[in-house]
Structure 1
Amino acid sequence: MTALTLTTSTDLWTDVCAYDDLVPERGVCALVGGEQIAIFRTLEGDLYALSNLDPFSDAYVLSRGILGCRGGVATVASPMYKNVFALETGLSLDDPERSVRAYPVRLADGRVEVST
């Protein structure tokens, strides 16, 4: 099992949930630092965190998106208009001028933590 860990200039991490509480291939939404964040666990065990706001529909729905892969890139498709975003970067693969914020996420002692 691997977990994606990104580093930032801050060291402020917020405990979100137990890793085992996340169902593979499903997203959950958590309020972290006043931001709605969609957190995903892949079948391989990787963790990703993106803004929950879909910029195409202006709805907070990405946590309910469909996980997949496009060209070797792990993705989530919005449940609204099916626009696809890279899980690692938040970049829209359908319209490169749009993106969602990707957040640092890590696994620490069996707990999922997100940094804003």
Structure 2
Amino acid sequence: MSEQTISAKNKHWLTICQTSDLIKDSGICALIEQEFEEKQVAIFHLPNTEKQVYAVGNYDPIGQANVLYRGIVGSVGDDIVVSSPLYKQHFCLTTGKCLQEDKYIEVFPVRIIDDYVQLFV
């Protein structure tokens, strides 16, 4: 897979997988290198939403484990969320905000180009 540089400050679009690798209405986990360290990213394929693919850090700051890709996706009000499989807190997939506590997870810009899923890292 390839990388395409598009802006300054070492940020670039990184190809993660093909859309056929995604599981509808569920998450997968990808390991990326960002700023010289490895990081897990949870990627969710929600084809019935406007954006269709969402990417957030896989680390649950409350349960203190890399488990969010295993969470259940859904909605709370107008927010599209993933529910942590550990303590069931809901994290918004567009903002990263936890709906129950004052915690956040990282959110990655994501796009699909020619059937490839890319993250801006």
Which of the five TM-score ranges fits, normalised by the shorter chain?
Answer: 0.7 to 0.9
**Greater gyration radius:** 2
Q: State the distance in 2 between where 1:72 and 1:24 align.
A: 20
Aligned pair partner of 1:106 in 90, 104, 111: 111
**Aligned AA (2:17):** C
Contact 1:75/1:87, CA 8 A, preserved across alignment: yes
Aligned pair partner of 2:96 in 80, 90, 114: 90
CA offset at residue 73 of structure 1? Answer: 1.1
Q: State the distance in 1 between where 2:66 and 2:32 align.
A: 14
Identity of aligned pairs, percent? 37
Query: RMSD over aligned Cα, in angstroms?
Result: 1.8
Task: Give the number of aligned pairs.
Answer: 109
Q: Which has the higher strand share?
A: 2
**Aligned AA (1:103):** F
State the match for 2:15 in structure 1.
15
Aligned pair partner of 2:43 in 13, 16, 39: 39
**Aligned AA (1:67):** V
Contact 2:47/2:53, CA 8 A, preserved across alignment: no
State the match for 1:64 in structure 2.
70
TM-score by length of 1: 0.87
Q: Which has the higher contact order (CA 8 A, sep 6+)?
A: 1
CA deviations on 1:55-82 (whole Å, 9 max, x unpaired) are 0110000000000000021100000000
- Consecutive unaligned residues in structure 2, runs of 5 or more: 1-7
The list of structure 1 runs, each at least 4 consecutive aligned residues, that deviate by more than 3 angstroms after superposition, is 8-11
